Amino acid sequence: MRRALAGSIALAVGAAPIGVFLLLRRMSLSGDAMAHAILPGAAFGFLVAGLDLVAMTLGGLAAGLLVALLAGLVTRTTILREDASLASFYLISLALGVLLVSLRGSSVDLMHVLFGTVLALNPDALVFIAGVATATLVMLALIWRPLVLECVDPGFLRVVSGTGGTIHTVFIVLVVLNLVAGFQALGTLLSVGIMMLPAASARFWVREVSMMALVAMGIAAVSAWLGLVLSYHLALPSGPAIILVAGAIHIASILFGAVGGLLPRLLPVAHRTG
């Protein structure tokens, strides 16, 4: 439980700010597609070395970056838009990954790859997740301003500095890295949940991007802690419990959020007179 909590909080700290930028760039579903895209690489690593951290991590990273590269290439050279090309490749990746795992593994192995085993995190996986979180925060600190500018006006960034393509590439690498780190704990199907749900919730509470990232990290960390506590006391699967807690916080944010929440918008606003 201690390792699961440490790994989940490290994952929350690194993945939640990435989710905020995916949200701002209107790439939320792209994050989900990328999460599925890492599956065949992780499955290939499983075929080669079994449930080995290094093999599955390298395989997942390679597959995620390859799908992102192919989707971008198809978008630039054909009439297909980026969301459609990503959807196409992620469906192919998902089917291929399930097939590869099924060739050698059992249904238990398939569930491990798809949904993760956060309570089984070993020291190597914990170090890897913490390393990805640290690298993500350092890189975000270095590219924060151009990344925010690219979310607002990517054309202006290309004209002014010509670094738009580089910033976009670095960001995609960070997305894949955090999804691969999340895969160690939550599996390929749930890893995007700790990235996107807290970010979407934070959008209902604050407007400024840096505050949104901080709130998202806080929500993700609370979701990890409360999900693990509930899974322990109620004998629930830990990964789904974490994501369901994040989902409950998201629904509460939709209802009560100070920025665009349903109830604050419906309540009458008191006007001062005098």
> Which residue do the tokens 């990805």 mark?
132
Q: Is 142 inside any structural domain?
A: yes
Nearest to 10, CA basis, from 96, 128, 151, 162: 128
Within a domain: 61? yes
Q: In CATH, what number is assigned to the domain containing residue 71?
A: 1.10.3470.10
Q: For the chain, how long is the longest CA-to-CA vector?
A: 77
Residue 102 inside a domain? The answer is yes
> Which tokens is 123 given?
């020291």
Mapping DSSP onto H, E and C, the string for the chain reads CHHHHHHHHHHHHHHHHHHHHHHHCCCHHHHHHHHHHCHHHHHHHHHHHCCCHHHHHHHHHHHHHHHHHHHHHHHHHCCCCHHHHHHHHHHHHHHHHHHHHHHHCCHHHHHHHHHCCHHHCCHHHHHHHHHHHHHHHHHHHHHHHHHHHHHHCHHHHHHHCCCHHHHHHHHHHHHHHHHHHHHHHHHHHHCCHHHHHHHHHHCCCCCCHHHHHHHHHHHHHHHHHHHHHHHHHHCCCHHHHHHHHHHHHHHHHHHHCCCCCHHHHHCCCCCCCC
The answer, as to whether pTM is greater than 0.75, is: yes
Is 224 inside any structural domain?
A: no
Q: Tokens in use for 40?
A: 């065949």
Per-residue pLDDT tens, the chain, 274 aa: give them: 888 899 999 999 999 999 999 998 887 777 777 777 788 888 788 777 776 777 878 888 888 888 888 877 887 788 777 767 777 877 888 788 778 777 776 666 667 666 677 887 888 889 989 999 999 999 999 999 888 887 776 666 666 666 667 888 888 889 988 988 888 788 777 888 899 999 999 999 999 999 999 999 999 999 999 999 999 999 888 888 999 999 999 999 999 999 988 988 887 654 444 4
Query: Residue 183 belongs to what domain range?
Result: 2-191
How many structural domains compose the chain? Answer: 1
pLDDT for res 191: 83
Q: Is residue 273 part of a domain?
A: no
With respect to residue 131, please indicate whether it lies within any of the assigned structural domains: yes
Q: Does 125 fall in a domain?
A: yes
* Structural domain includes residue 244: no
Selection from 111, 113, 118 nearest residue 3 by Cα: 118
Residue 20 backbone phi and psi in degrees, to 5: -60, -45
